[in-house]
Amino acid sequence: MIFESHAHYDDEAFDTDRDTLLKSLPQAGIGTVINVSASLPSVDTTLTLAKKWPFVYAALGVHPSEISGLKEEDMDRLKTLLSHPRAVAVGEIGLDYHWEKEETARRRQKEWFARQLALAEEVKMPVILHSRDAAQDTLDVMRADSGKNFRGVLHCFSYTKETAREFLKWDSYFGIGGVVTFQNAKKVREAVEYLPLDRILLETDSPYLAPEPHRGQRNSSRNLPYIIQAIAQIKGVTAKEVEAVTCENARTLFCI
């Protein structure tokens, strides 16, 4: 069965058919889904989904673009919610400099990234890490605040293989999604070729980043076979091997 390591089924894009779609996933070969929160409100909706569907688990955290208004009391509440048996990771957390150019705001992102890394270490859970246009600062925060204790997945990995080499110095996995199927994704394909298969996880980031031939449409875990096939071609292995190894990787990381 396929393990989907990153989706957002609590997103409003699924409001009209959420239950129908989720009910269809096991029949489509999707055995496990990690639903990942991004904002404080989505922490609650993510956990609600995980309680309702036996194959869905929750990652709870606050995305760097959603940290406005965060308070220390929110970290206390997150810690409490992370004790729920359906919660398996802290995430998605990290840095996103794609839209944020102002240095004060970037510094605040780094502060809350470090704080949530500390929370993950405190509750002894892996991290789902978002890093966009911020590779060096991401590495610097990890070095300063995680030491050798970081354990997690770099969601939607889009950096070079040289950067991947730096992240491999920790207990890092790499989330590979629909971008690997894009014709202009040379950098991502080179990174996939370089990375050991036992460090790769499958993800869709649904409803975003649908793979070819559905690029631009709403994404779902049902598109994971396209991603599997692309990785298999790059690595020179069978699709069945990609499915099996990435599933085992995810189960190891999330202790499922």
Q: What are the sequence ranges of the domains in the chain?
A: 2-254
Average pLDDT over all residues of the chain: 96
State how far the Cα of 14 lies from the Cα of 67, in Å rounded to an integer. Answer: 24
pLDDT at 19 over 70: yes
* Predicted structure pTM score: 0.96
Q: Which of 90, 85, 105, 29 is nearest to 59 (CA)?
A: 90
What does the pLDDT read at residue 123? Answer: 96
Measuring CA to CA, how many Å separate 186 from each of 168, 181, 191, 224?
A: 20, 10, 9, 20
What does the pLDDT read at residue 148? Answer: 63
CATH homologous superfamily for 2-254?
Answer: Metal-dependent hydrolases (3.20.20.140)
State how far the Cα of 112 lies from the Cα of 229, in Å rounded to an integer. Answer: 37
Tokens (6 digits) for 215: 């690029």
| pLDDT tens digits for range 172-208 | 999 999 999 999 999 999 999 999 999 999 999 999 9
Q: Which of 92, 19, 25, 10 is nearest to 55 (CA)?
A: 25
| pLDDT tens digits for range 105-155 | 999 999 999 999 999 999 999 999 999 999 999 999 999 865 567 899 999
State how far the Cα of 104 lies from the Cα of 183, in Å rounded to an integer. Answer: 36
